[in-house]
Structure 1
Amino acid sequence: MTVTSIDVLDSVVDITAQTESDTISESLITTVLQLTPANQVLVLDYNAEASPEFMVVACSDIFLFEEEKDAIERVLRNCVITGENVVEFSKDDNQSLLAVPIRYGENNEIHAVVFCKADELKGDEVQLIEGLARIYENYQKIISASERDGLTGLYNRKVLTTKIDLLLDRFLIQGTSITDDPTHHHWVCIFDIDHFKQINDALGHVFGDEVILLITAMMKQSFDDEDILFRYGGDEFVVIMHPQPREEMEKTVRDFLVTVNQRDYGQAKDVSISMGAASINDQELNAITVLGFADQALYKAKQKGRNQVAFYEDLIASGELQSLVPEDDVELF
């Protein structure tokens, strides 16, 4: 395969024309398939604390990971352990296997791996794939920065539904349910600061920002590293919690409410929050719907006096809420 500098330049243009993390991954896959002998390509997120450690973000073959999981994970783990490219030869099907680490984040740690499979990979072809992966890595850093809230550093509103839908899509791609344990669910929690406008009006927006930053610090301390934290806007926040039983989730959010109550806010005196929570299950594979459930629960928490958490499932069971059946894709916020 003869690759010209024009081919490479066109591919760089294609990759950097994308504006979202998942579309960049898809563009990278297309580029690698076009410019190299690779016949199958995967992009996988890596999290050493999660289970599973590797999650498919995008792929050229939807069945590849499950069909050859052991061989692929061996190469991926070797890549993560060494922190470098890993090239292996599979005797089972006479194919070359390549894994390239992708680093970004505050500590420049490995957060993803690009995996390729080909009949044969020569040295210059491996270098080309690595070069494309570096372009991908650098551009992901730019996109990642644009997904963060300027004040708190949490994910911003722009990527909230994308993160939930991507989470759900990954499980569909890998052919598994959201969790193998029926008692464990992902959870979405929405909360805002009670009477925050009064704090801003009485003490000024600079003081209000200080309260926002204190709440953010408490979120980072209270929730697990696997949980995804968002500032939705103003004094509104969202947490996507990792799979866990209802009891564990409820203890975490109630402890968080207590932590917020007990904090010293100086002139603001008492600060509290109201929260709504809903589970993500296999029947509700839509981010807008799930967020709508949690938002309805938040509204009920405010109706009942604020400074508390309400659970969507409980409200449905008690008849206080009717099941939400969305008629279209209009956002509920």
Structure 2
Amino acid sequence: MINKKDAGPPSLLNRLVSLTTIRDVELFETSLLKTLAELLKINQIAMYRLSQTSMMCWLSTHSTNLIQDDNKRQFSESQEIYTSEIVIPEEIKSAQLWVETTKKPYIQLQGNQYLVVYPIFAANKIESLLSFELSHSLTEGEMLIITSLLSITYNFRSLLDESQKDKLTGLLNRQTFEANINKISSLTLNSDISQQPNGNEQDRRRTKTGTEEFCLAIIDIDDFKSINDRFGHIMGDEVLLLLSYVMKQNFRAKDLLFRFGGEEFVVIFHVPDQAEAAKALERFREKIEAYRFPQINTVTISVGATLISETHHLASEIIGRADQALYHAKNNGKNQLHFYESLLESGHIVEKKETGTIDFF
């Protein structure tokens, strides 16, 4: 019988098996960075997810606390991955140009450390760049580890993406909504804990939201049935495709965009406050109104929105609040944006605390 203490570290095959059991894209990327850090025995690794249309990128950084024991480096508990939107650093731009020109990883000696920038390709384009430092130049064995891991896991990642996307628009599908909203609700609750005097350091470290909030908005195409009736379902699908295209252009890469069903869409995004959320949503509403759709010409949308708070964090509550605001927009002229919180404050909606029901005026 094998003693677990003598079993040694998990093999590359075991790590691949572990990674390919994950069904959450964000968790998958987190686990991939952690796995690479452990296999390469490095204490920090970053992933720059590039945009094809701007100089911005999404940076995810994984760090591992290291302890010394008898002159041997050992790994302690891993920190959370921190994600933020940044301007692509000049050093990463230079590395990207090198990779695009040579089709090889960028390896540069800096002081007594080697900076390694390793590409992740998708459809023959660089999708992301991995960046880490080594005390030595990248060996053939280490390159084989990285190449093997990325090749297999990113084929799996493509399948994972496909299972979570709406086949017509390419946005996230409704099946993924509840998992995402539950994850965000958990973050909101943790944020509330971390702001309290007795919130522990781990909670504060995991929560990088500061004073920002999440906003959820339901977007509904006005009179979509009449578009299908007048122009046919093919043109109706064209409207859905073009609207989703404008959504992707208007919102950030890390914002969650869903096709919720039929002509209804949902967006969840991070904002400093309701005023900034309203600006982003109003800007999108205006862009759709100004967009010229083939044959149909003008299409408008109604938007109902709410902030996700620790007091209303269940998926049914959040979507219900936004839906009430959308109902108000639809019944008061369409082509407009309303926030649940503003309607509540103005008295257009009255929430009965004892029953949770809502009256409209």
Contact 1:190 1:275 in 2 (8 A): yes
Contact 2:47 2:59 in 1 (8 A): no
Say which structure is richer in strand.
Answer: 2
Distance 1:264 1:87, change over 3 A: closer
5+ residue gaps in structure 2? 1-5, 66-74, 83-88, 97-104, 191-202, 357-361
Alpha-carbon shift at residue 301 of structure 1 (Å): 1.8
Equivalent of residue 165 in structure 2, options 133, 148, 167: 148
Query: What residue in structure 2 maps to residue 131 of structure 1?
Result: 148
Distance 2:352 2:61 in 1: 32
Contact 1:25 1:43 in 2 (8 A): no
Alpha-carbon shift at residue 176 of structure 1 (Å): 5.4
Which deviations, in whole Å up to 9, do the C-alpha atoms of 1:284-331 show, x marking residues without a partner?
Answer: 55555433332232222223332211102112323414289999xxxx
Distance 1:204 1:62, change over 3 A: farther
Paired letter, 1:230: F
Range with greater deviation from structure 2 (162-171 or 249-258)? 162-171
Which deviations, in whole Å up to 9, do the C-alpha atoms of 1:66-112 show, x marking residues without a partner?
Answer: 9xx9xxxxxx99778636477999x9xxxx99977563556743547
Distance 1:324 1:49 in 2: 44
Equivalent of residue 95 in structure 2, options 61, 72, 82: 82
Alpha-carbon shift at residue 257 of structure 1 (Å): 2.4
Aligned residues: 311
Contact 1:193 1:271 in 2 (8 A): yes
Alpha-carbon shift at residue 222 of structure 1 (Å): 3.5
Contact 2:304 2:325 in 1 (8 A): yes
Which deviations, in whole Å up to 9, do the C-alpha atoms of 1:133-176 show, x marking residues without a partner?
Answer: 44223322332233332222223223334444555667857725
Identity %: 29
Query: What residue in structure 1 maps to residue 79 of structure 2?
Result: 64
Range with greater deviation from structure 2 (134-143 or 6-15)? 6-15
The answer to which structure, 1 or 2, has the higher relative contact order (CA under 8 A, 6+ apart) is 1
Query: What residue in structure 1 maps to residue 244 of structure 2?
Result: 216
Paired letter, 2:154: E
Contact 2:49 2:129 in 1 (8 A): yes
Contact 1:231 1:238 in 2 (8 A): yes
Q: Does 1:53 align with 2:66?
A: no
Q: Does 1:16 align with 2:20?
A: yes
Distance 1:224 1:30 in 2: 25
Alpha-carbon shift at residue 268 of structure 1 (Å): 4.0
TM-score of the aligned structures, taking structure 1 as reference length: 0.67
Alpha-carbon shift at residue 275 of structure 1 (Å): 0.8
Alignment of 1:143-222 (within 5 A): 143-166=160-183, 175=205, 177=207, 179-180=209-210, 182=211, 184-222=212-250
Distance 1:102 1:317 in 2: 51
SS in 1 for 2:278: helix
Distance 1:63 1:124, change over 3 A: closer
Query: What residue in structure 2 maps to residue 278 of structure 1?
Result: 306
Query: What residue in structure 1 maps to residue 99 of structure 2?
Result: none
Equivalent of residue 233 in structure 1, options 261, 267, 276: 261
Contact 1:102 1:137 in 2 (8 A): no
Equivalent of residue 296 in structure 1, options 308, 324, 333: 324
Give RMSD over aligned pairs.
5.1
Distance 2:77 2:346 in 1: 41
Distance 1:112 1:287, change over 3 A: farther
TM-score of the aligned structures, taking structure 2 as reference length: 0.62
Query: What residue in structure 2 maps to residue 72 of structure 1?
Result: none
5+ residue gaps in structure 1? 70-75, 328-333
**Higher Cα Rg, which structure:** 2
SS in 1 for 2:351: coil
Contact 2:33 2:62 in 1 (8 A): no
